[in-house]
Amino acid sequence: MEARIKILATGLSGFIGSHIAPLLNERYEVHALTRGAAKKEGDGRVVWHEGDFLDDAFRESILREVKPGKLLHLAWDVTRGYQTSEENYEWLYASFEFFRRFAEQGGRRAVFAGTCFEYDWNNELCVEDVTPIKPQNTYGVCKNALRELVDNYAKDKDISWAWGRIFYPFGAGEQAGRFFPSLIRSALLGERVVVNTGQQSRDFIYAPDVASAFATLLESDADGVFNIGSGAPCKRADAAREICDITGSRKNLEIKALLSDEPDSFYASVQKLKELGWQARYSMREALDEIVSLSRLQFSQNAPRPPACLSL
C-alpha cells in the first residue's frame, strides 16, 4: 500500500479546525499541534503533539519528527482583545518560521488562514487581487504581513501555497460572547436581546463550510489568495429574525440601526474558490437549525444562565 502524505496542522481543536480532520483522514496521515490534553477532542485518528506553538524548539522538533509533505496553519490567538494585542507580532514571527522550516525540510504545499480584516473596509465587495489591502487593526496587519512573507519566500523556493481569507465564520464551539452564540443563548432562555447594528450586512459562513474550503485548498495545487465566505451579504437583523423564528422568541427581539465606524456592507467574491470545485453546503437556515439544536442540548445539561439583556 502506498504511504499516505503527512499533513501537519495547527488549530484543529478550534471551532473551525475541528471540522477539518474528518475530511482529511481518508487521504492523509494527519498530525496536529495542541496546547494541552483537554484540547484533543475530535477524530481519534489524528496524531496529536502537545506543546506551545510560540516555542521555537517545540516547532522545530515536531517538524523534524513528522517531516510533513503538507502544512495547514489555522492557529492564532483570537481571545478577547486580539485585534489590537501585541501578541499578534509573536504569532507573525512564529508562523513564518514554521513555514520556512517546513520548506527547508522538503515540504511542498502549505495552506494558511487569513482574514477579511486585511481588506480596505471602504469596499463593499471584496475580490482577491483587485480590492485594495488596508488592514484596520494589528491583527489584520500581522496576518497580511505573514501573507506577503509567505508569498515572497514561496516564490524563491518554488513552494506551492494558498491563503484562505476567512470572512465571518460561525458555528458550534464559537466563543460565547460573539454575535451568534449570544443571540441564540438569550433567545433560548426567553431573554430580551438588543441588536444595535441590525442593518449591517456581513458575509457569514458556517464553520463546516469553512472547513471544506480549506480541505479543497489542500487538495489543490492552485497558488495565491482565496476568499472563504458565502458570497452573499446577510443583515444582522435577518440572521436574528431567523434565530427567533427557530426558537419561537420573535417577541423578545429588538432591532436597532445605530451608526458605527464599521462598513454597512462587507462581503466576499468566492468565484476563485468555486472554480476549484468548492460549494457551500449549508444555507443560513440549515446552519442555524443545527446550532440551535446543539445549544438546546447544552442548556439541558445545566449551562450557566447569562445576563438578562445582551446588547450586540
Do 107 and 213 fall within a single domain?
yes
Do 51 and 188 fall within a single domain?
no
Confidence (pTM): 0.92
Q: In what order do the strands lie in the sheet with 192-195?
A: 253-255, 192-195, 309-311
What total number of domains does the chain contain? Answer: 2
Q: Estimate the crossing angle of helix 87-104 against helix 56-66, to 10 degrees.
A: 30
Over residues 25-79, the pLDDT tens digits come to 888 999 999 987 545 555 568 999 999 999 999 999 999 999 999 999 999 998 8
User: Across-strand partners of 113?
Assistant: 164
- For residue 154, the domain's CATH number is 3.40.50.720
Per-residue pLDDT, 309: 34
First-residue to last-residue Cα distance in the chain: 54
Do 96 and 237 fall within a single domain?
no
Per-residue pLDDT, 50: 95
274 inside domain: no
Residue whose grid cell is 463550510: 209
Q: How far apart are CA 233 and CA 280, in angstroms?
A: 14
Burial string for 40-52 (b: 16+ CB within 10 Å, else e) reads eebeeebebbeee
271 inside domain: no
- For residue 290, the domain's CATH number is 3.90.25.10
Each of the 312 residues of the chain gets a pLDDT tens digit; together they read: 457 899 999 999 999 999 999 999 888 999 999 987 545 555 568 999 999 999 999 999 999 999 999 999 999 998 888 999 999 999 999 999 999 999 999 999 999 999 999 999 999 999 999 999 999 899 999 999 999 999 999 999 999 999 999 999 999 888 888 999 999 999 999 998 889 889 999 999 999 999 999 999 999 999 999 999 999 999 999 999 999 999 999 999 999 888 788 889 999 999 999 999 999 999 999 999 999 999 998 877 655 554 433 333
Residue whose grid cell is 496529536: 48
What type of residue sits at position 126? Answer: C
268 inside domain: no
Query: 228 near 165, Cβ under 8 Å?
Result: yes
Per-residue pLDDT, 136: 87
43 inside domain: yes
Ramachandran region of residue 289, left (φ > 0), alpha (ψ -120 to 50) or beta? alpha
Do 181 and 56 fall within a single domain?
no
- Which residue in 220, 306, 303, 230 sits closest to 266, CA to CA? 230
Over residues 99-133, the pLDDT tens digits come to 999 999 999 999 999 999 999 999 999 999 999 99
300 inside domain: yes
224 inside domain: yes
Per-residue pLDDT, 308: 37
- Which residue in 170, 116, 166, 125 sits closest to 286, CA to CA? 170
Residue whose grid cell is 494558511: 112
Structural domain that includes position 125: 5-168+205-228
Q: How far apart are CA 205 and CA 69, in angstroms?
A: 29
Neighbour tally for 124: CB within 10 Å:
13
Q: How far apart are CA 299 and CA 129, in angstroms?
A: 44
Per-residue pLDDT, 177: 86
From the number of C-beta atoms within 10 Å of its C-beta (0-12, 13-18, 19+), residue 25 rates as middle
Per-residue pLDDT, 2: 55
